[in-house]
Amino acid sequence: MAAVDLNTHPGHLARRLQQAHYLLWNAMVSEEITSPQFAVLNALVAEPGLDQRTVGERVGLDRSTVAEVISRLIRRELLDKVRDPQDGRRFLLRLTDDGVRTQRRLAVRAARMSQVFLAPLSGEEQTAFFDLIRRVADAAEGLRNPAEPPAGRGAST
């Protein structure tokens, strides 16, 4: 019997975590706007006029996915897209008034949801939760892009 216990597989856990989050987001934040869509709105509140590629970089989405998410936000009229006059390859993105209002409304709800989501953990544990996940995710991404010696400390190469 060579079957493995899925509970020892980080991928399984990661998937379950995201499912759990999806569930709670739908129940407590919005059934219309998804979490990745909110991330895009949020990025554009912080830095209005970004282009698609950079938005993707900020929220951790590849070029194709970000294009889809953005097209949905445009369809809902939360976002506008105009050709960059300085560089005709780019589109500059900007929230509509409705987009700004939506981001504001959801930010409050998202914060509440996060509290509920993390409620089973103590304060210290919540810190550890973020720290551990971030370290694992960063390391895996690092394997992807091996380059980028962050200046100074050249670790072999």
Residues near DNA, by CB under 7 A:
15, 19, 22-23, 34, 36-37, 51-54, 60-65, 67-70, 72, 87-91
Residue with tokens 């200046």: 151
User: x/- binding map, residues 20-59, to a second copy, per CB under 8 A?
Assistant: xxxxxx-x-------xx--x--xx-xx-----------xx
**From CA 15, how far away is CA 84, in angstroms rounded?**
38
Give 93's contacts (C-beta < 8 A, 6+ positions apart): 44, 49, 50, 51, 52, 55, 70, 79, 80, 81
> CB-wise, 68 or 87, nearer to a second copy?
68
| Partner touching 102 among a second copy, DNA, none, CB below 5 to 8 Å by kind | none
> CB-wise, 66 or 117, nearer to a second copy?
117
| Partner touching 133 among DNA, a second copy, none, CB below 5 to 8 Å by kind | a second copy
The C-alpha angle 27, 32, 35, rounded to 5 degrees, equals: 70
